[in-house]
Amino acid sequence: MELSVVVSTLNDRERLLSCLDALATETPVETELVVVNGPSSDGTTGVVREREDIDVLVEISERNPNVSRNAGFETATGDVVAFLDAEYAVEPGWYGALEGAVADGADVIAGPTGEADGTLAETERTRSVAGRDVTLFDGGNVAFDCTSLEALDGFDEYIEGDGAVDCAHRASGLGFEVAWEPSMTARSDVGADGGRADPDWGTTYRALAYGLGKNYGPRPTVLGRTVGSAIRDGAAGVREIVTGSATPTGWFSNGVDVVTNAAGGLKDGLRARYADRSTRRNPNGLSVRHDRAVRIYDRR
């Protein structure tokens, strides 16, 4: 296979270098490496341009990871395109697992992401929604056959967070096979930045309601899943208040963000469903615009 790896980074220079070093060790020398940066202010551009193993550096001005992935896909030339977040370093066996799944005819190949302490942050997750079986994956460690991602028109740029869940629902709708490869592991060194930030509940629930509304329309399943998820997260927040790790004021503020953004996301999702009535369901995808890159450094 001809592999392109798109690495998205934003103010994460040290972990980006670890990610690139691991790729240089694990993948063949002919692998095309594309780094999409931006808008970083930590000197990322300079250190990437100094490396001889980077084929393309794409500078963008938006913080949206889905814009970053689409910008990288626009530049990549491989028949298989893998996406990695800069915080992840691939482990030995990553390339072999990917290559084997491609040889078996998989359209999408996903692997687990892990923490530095050995904990796997993700295992295979399959959901049944409105009669559709959906295998979810992490957008920070996933690969696509190029024709499959073209059919999906890339990632939906309306979503401000990780658009991989939406992409998984759309891939299932198009009948693409998602292969889960446990050996295709990428691990994050969380100690590099002192840990992970608290979730942005507003962004999370806007993306959830938007994706469900867009992919499945105004049906009870959509409302039920959104409300059920909010109840579970709200209960977890109550437990944090009891243990003293959260405050009632913060819990209430998060609740307002969840309700407001879920309602807005559902409304926009239904609009998007009718804006793109094709099976790909992506009115904010790759083909909509071609001005993502502010600057491209291409060594090919």
* CA 45 to centroid of chain Cα atoms: 22
Phi, psi of 297 (to 5 degrees): -105, 110
The CA-CA-CA angle for residues 61, 206, 174, to 5°, reads 85
pLDDT at 197: 63
Q: What is the full DSSP assignment across 56-98?
A: EEEEES---HHHHHHHHHHH---SEEEEEETTEEEPTTHHHHH
pLDDT digits (tens, 9 = 90+) for 90-120: 999 999 999 999 999 999 999 999 877 667 6
pLDDT digits (tens, 9 = 90+) for 187-239: 987 654 445 566 788 899 999 999 999 999 998 888 888 888 888 888 888 78
- What Cα–Cα distance (Å) separates residue 142 from each residue in 165, 168, 178? 12, 11, 10
β-bridge partners, 90: 186
pLDDT at 114: 85
pTM for this model (two decimals): 0.92
Q: Could you give the CA distance from residue 59 to residue 48 in angstroms, rounded to a whole number?
A: 11
β-bridge partners, 128: 133
One-letter amino acid identity for 101?
A
The mean pLDDT value of the chain amounts to: 91
Indicate the helix (H) or strand (E) that contains 167. helix 164-173
Tell me which residue of 33, 15, 13 sits closest to 23, measured CA to CA: 33
For 120, the token pair is: 């796997």
